[in-house]
Amino acid sequence: MKTAIVILNWNGRALLERFLGSVVQHSAHLATIYVADNASTDTSIAYCEEYFPEEVIVIKNTKNGGYAKGYNDALRHVDADLYVLMNSDVMVKEGWLEPMLAIFETSSEIAVAQPKIKDLKRPTHFEYAGAAGGYIDALGYPYCRGRIFNTCEEDTGQYNDTVDVQWASGACLFIKAAQYWEVGGLDEDFFAHQEEIDLCWRVKNKGYRVVAVGDSEVFHLGGATLATSNPVKTFYNFRNTLFALVKNSPGSKFILYILFRLILDGIAGVKFLLEGKPKHVWAILQAHISFYSHFPSLLEKRKTLPQRKDYYTIGSIVFQYFVKNKKSYRDLL
């Protein structure tokens, strides 16, 4: 397949200097490499044009529309059968790409895939954003093979297989172009965070498969654009999870799931308050206010989406992790 690696950038020259070279070195023989710039005000574009004039194509978005709109705008200018949405803080090594491309040749039903995502700062361990493939529980909490909440497992080869998952990480997400546009691309109301979960959910509801490929790995710095400690990230994570639940949760009882989730969000707010993090409490309140204002439009989107299916294997990962003390994916099996 004609493959395009598209790296979204916003004022990230330092990240491009550190990571783009590895992508070019180990991927250019099999893929065309793009940097999609979200109206940066630094010298990111000049860097690409000076150091990779032949190897990298720069797409200049007219505004910073976040992850979702940034990719939607950029991908309209990309001619490829397979898109690779890659964060600008991902390092790759020789041989990483071949297994990923090969997996799409095994079944026409596979539309989305991800490699194992390891922690660049601690390469023996999985990284928070995707690990070895993602799942969500009935209340919308994401977890991964290799990562539950803030507990990241050491990679001992336990997830070297290729398996179907519920979502693939936006840090390094492979998706067929036809299916990307068939489901309408990324939802721009999300702006950033959790949008790949929503995208994969819609892809699966169309009958396609999402897989994690165990014999490929990349290394992700993580938190380069927005640190976990940033209340803005708290806002998007809490709000966008509610967005995805309304749009995609199966059955007529989805309102009950939303209500339970809102209650747990309140408990999380109390926890932040006790930890002396009032800005995160305010971020959760703002997330709920934004969610309520979007609720009518989310219901309209829900009506247009294909038949929703129940992919849950865990009712509450919160209960499993905090009450039953199951800290790894293997403990859940």
Condensed to tens digits (0 to 9), the pLDDT of residues 236-274 reads: 999 999 999 999 988 877 899 899 999 999 999 999 999
pLDDT of residue 312: 85
Residues 55 and 162 in one domain: yes
Domain contains 183: yes
Which residues lie closer than 8 Å to 192 by C-beta, 6 or more apart?
66, 67, 68, 226, 236
Q: Residue 98's Cα: distance from chain center in Å?
A: 21
How many domains does the chain contain in total?
Answer: 2
pLDDT at 308 over 80: no
Between CA 285 and CA 269 the distance in angstroms is 8
Residue type, 81: D
Residues 39 and 18 in one domain: yes
Residues 39 and 91 in one domain: yes
pLDDT at 226 over 90: no
- Domain-terminating residue out of 220, 240, 260: 220
pLDDT of residue 272: 97
Domain contains 129: yes
| Percentage of residues of the chain with pLDDT beyond 70 | 98
Q: What is the sign, positive or negative, of the torsion defined by CA atoms of 142, 143, 148, 154?
A: negative
Domain contains 196: yes
pLDDT of residue 49: 97
**Among 124, 108, 228, which Cα is nearest to 176's?**
108
pLDDT of residue 158: 98
Residues 203 and 248 in one domain: no
Place of tokens 């109390």: 270
Q: Which range of residues forms the domain containing residue 100?
A: 3-220
Domain contains 74: yes
Taking the model in full, what pTM does it have? 0.96
- Domain-terminating residue out of 220, 239, 260: 220
Tell me: the pLDDT tens digits for 153-198? Answer: 999 999 999 999 999 999 999 999 999 999 999 999 999 999 999 9
pLDDT at 13 over 90: yes
229 band by pLDDT with thresholds 50, 70 and 90: confident
Which of 13 and 229 is assigned the larger pLDDT? 13
Between CA 301 and CA 271 the distance in angstroms is 33
pLDDT at 307 over 90: no
Domain contains 118: yes
Residues 216 and 261 in one domain: no
Q: Where are the alpha helices (DSSP H) in the chain?
A: 13-27, 44-51, 66-75, 97-103, 177-182, 195-205, 231-248, 254-274, 278-304, 317-318, 329-332
Residues 235 and 197 in one domain: no
Q: Residue 36's Cα: distance from chain center in Å?
A: 17
Residues 135 and 275 in one domain: no
Between CA 69 and CA 188 the distance in angstroms is 5
Between CA 177 and CA 195 the distance in angstroms is 17
pLDDT of residue 253: 79
- Kindly state the average pLDDT of the residues 98-111: 98
Domain contains 225: no
pLDDT at 94 over 80: yes
pLDDT of residue 130: 96
Residues 177 and 197 in one domain: yes
Residues 194 and 273 in one domain: no
Q: Is 82 helix (H, G, I), strand (E, B) or coil?
A: strand
Tell me: the pLDDT tens digits for 30-85? Answer: 999 999 999 999 999 999 999 999 999 999 999 999 999 999 999 999 999 999 99
Residues 68 and 164 in one domain: yes
- Domain-terminating residue out of 189, 220, 251: 220
- Kindly state the average pLDDT of the residues 98-116: 98
Residues 286 and 313 in one domain: yes
Between CA 58 and CA 248 the distance in angstroms is 34
| CATH number reported for the structural domain that contains residue 105 in this entry | 3.90.550.10
Domain contains 277: yes
pLDDT at 223 over 80: no
Domain contains 248: yes
Lowest mean pLDDT among 42-46, 125-129, 272-276, 312-316: 312-316
Residues 79 and 155 in one domain: yes
